[in-house]
Amino acid sequence: MSSETLERIARNKNVARAAARQLSMEQLHKLAEVIGEVIEHKQDEERQRKEDEIQKERKLAEIREAINDAGLSMEDLVAEQPRRKRGRPPKNGGKAAGKS
């Protein structure tokens, strides 16, 4: 079953009912169990992603506070941006050296 078919089934109750008519009760119960597991797994992933974002924000806040406490600014930490070289890159710049 393609992802397009699954999307059609998920968007339209009548399409889902038509697809369900082709399955036995045992198959429908198994499908419901599998979908439940998939939903639970996606919820766990989302929960973990949110926790990771919260930890990252906490760490950033701690770093900002430490910078401010030290009397520094972000400009003090960032060195001058390197200047780009002008001109064309070497003709063999993309090839590995030493190959025959």
For residue 82, give both structure tokens: 């390197």
66-88, pLDDT tens digit by residue? 999 999 887 887 777 667 777 77
12-49, pLDDT tens digit by residue? 899 989 989 999 999 999 999 999 999 999 999 999 99
Strand, helix or coil for residue 97 = coil
**Weakest mean pLDDT among 5-9, 14-18, 59-63:** 5-9
pLDDT of residue 58 exceeding 90, the answer is: yes
pLDDT of residue 57 exceeding 80, the answer is: yes
pLDDT of residue 50 exceeding 90, the answer is: yes
Summary count for the chain: helices (H), strands (E): 4, 0
